[in-house]
Structure 1
Amino acid sequence: MSEHGSNRAVGSELLGYIERVERLEKQKKEIGEDIAAVYAEAKLDGYEPKAMKSIVKDRKAKPHDLEEAKTLKDLYESALGMKRDLPLFRHFANLGDAVTDDALIKALEPTVPPGGEIILKTGERPLRLWRTIEGDFHTEDYVPPEPRKPSSRVQQAPPPSSEPVPDVDAEGAEELGRRAYIANQPITSNPFPWDDPRRPRFDAGWRAESGSDGMGDD
């Protein structure tokens, strides 16, 4: 093949990629317009699109990450005086200057979420306050992990793969939903197609394990 013919072949291949991207960009725009239309329709029925968008974002988040973000938001708003009720700060103020580790642990225990932890640094003995996924509360001396040495090799992410649909019945789908919550997976990790009757059973298992409806605060 001549150089001119080779260039034409490369150009044709490149054009194929460009046109595929352009088609996807067009589809993305059309999908965005469809989503906007859904929000507009919901608004006509009396629903607030901003609140709906927040719920959509929360449903895609991992349960523990969402809980941690909400806890930090409450703490920051309280520190800035944006909340009238400052229970945690008021409680610490009432403890006085001669507060003991035991008093601090007792005060912080309710704020540790399932699967979460708090590092309490008082004096020379840092403490780790943590709670299991099942809700059991524990304390122990905190030992900072050794810093990891940077790898000399560049790690490349594996190509995305399409997960197969689990071969389970309706009860198995519900059990998968429970396991997904315990594994800190969002409710949107549901592996079943939209028209699969097992999909709502997965959601039901996730909600039952979390004790919520999967849509953020009540």
Structure 2
Amino acid sequence: MATKLISGNFSADQLNQLVARIERLEEEKKALADDIKEVYAEAKAHGFDVKILRQVIRLRKLDRAELAEQESLLQVYMDALGMQTDAQAAE
């Protein structure tokens, strides 16, 4: 069977291969997402706050400078809104 040219340098065979790879990766991504969901459910079963755990995971992805900047901005915003943490109220 002759390979048809779709446009440019891509053939129908190449397109099919790319689509198949993407579909396979999407399936793997869903499986990983399901695994992560199970780990969060396990953490919840052990009494951990999943919402806070998600925040910790997100923050650990940041480098130290980004984390310090976010913490600083959060404090500025909280101060501007008159929100105090327990540590601030104790001072």
Class of the TM-score when normalised by the shorter of the 2 chains: 0.7 to 0.9
Match of residue 7 from structure 1: 4
After TM superposition, the structure 1 = structure 2 runs for residues 32-51 of structure 1, keeping only pairs within 5 Å, are 32-51=33-52
What is the CA distance between 1:50 and its match in structure 2? Answer: 0.8
What is the CA distance between 1:20 and its match in structure 2? Answer: 0.1
Unaligned runs of 5+ in 1: 87-218
| Distance of 1:82 and 1:33 partners within structure 2 | 37
Q: For 1:6, what is the secondary structure of its paired residue? A: coil
TM-score by length of 2: 0.82
After TM superposition, the structure 1 = structure 2 runs for residues 89-104 of structure 1, keeping only pairs within 5 Å, are none
Q: For 1:40, what is the secondary structure of its paired residue? A: helix
Taking only aligned residues, the RMSD between alpha carbons, in angstroms, comes to 2.1
Match of residue 17 from structure 2: 16
Higher helix share: 2
After TM superposition, the structure 1 = structure 2 runs for residues 44-63 of structure 1, keeping only pairs within 5 Å, are 44-63=45-64
After TM superposition, the structure 1 = structure 2 runs for residues 28-177 of structure 1, keeping only pairs within 5 Å, are 28-83=29-84, 85=88
TM-score by length of 1: 0.36
| Distance of 1:29 and 1:82 partners within structure 2 | 40
Report the identity percentage.
34
| Distance of 2:77 and 2:2 partners within structure 1 | 64
> Which amino acid counterpart does residue 13 of structure 1 have in structure 2?
Q
| Distance of 1:71 and 1:48 partners within structure 2 | 24
What is the CA distance between 1:13 and its match in structure 2? Answer: 1.2
> Which amino acid counterpart does residue 37 of structure 1 have in structure 2?
E
Cα deviation per residue 1:143-202 (whole Å; 9 max; x = unaligned)?
xxxxxxxxxxxxxxxxxxxxxxxxxxxxxxxxxxxxxxxxxxxxxxxxxxxxxxxxxxxx
Match of residue 27 from structure 2: 26
Unaligned runs of 5+ in 2: none
Larger Rg, first or second structure (1 or 2): 1
